[in-house]
Amino acid sequence: MGNVTDTIRANRWSMVSMLITIGDALVILALVRYLYWRGLWLASPWVHHVLGVWGGLSVVLSLGTAIIGLAKDQSRGYGLLALCLSLLSFLFYVQ
């Protein structure tokens, strides 16, 4: 177990970036599915605005922490993975 915590500590910024990217995608997906299931998805345009702002801020924050992770973390592999996830999230967001 010590090896996992050492890896997380050594690559803190990359792990934070991946957590932001994956966590944000799961929260938005769950919220959209819930609203669609309840029939409220098309009836409330303010939800679209809030999700757009939330998604945009999370993409920018995730991309920023991935770049910091690429520069500061010990392993470049985790930094590149975090950067790829952030860019993929950006591409899905602007689509």
**Mean pLDDT per 10-residue interval, the chain, length 95 residues:** 84 94 91 86 78 90 94 91 92 81
Contacts of 87 (CB under 8 A, 6+ apart): 63
Q: How far is Cα 55 from Cα 93, in angstroms, rounded to an integer?
A: 7
Q: Which residues contact 78 (CB under 8 A, 6 or more apart)?
A: 11, 14, 15, 18, 69
Q: How many CB atoms lie within 10 A of CB 16?
A: 18
User: Residue 64: CB partners within 8 Å, gap ≥ 6?
Assistant: none
Q: Tokens for 41? A: 């998805």
Domain extent at residue 84: 2-94
**pTM for the full predicted model:** 0.85
Q: How many other C-beta atoms lie within 10 A of the C-beta of residue 17?
A: 30
Cα–Cα separations (whole angstroms), residue 6 to 2, 10, 12:
6, 6, 10
Predicted confidence at residue 1, as pLDDT, reads: 57
What's residue 43's pLDDT?
65
Domain tally, the chain: 1
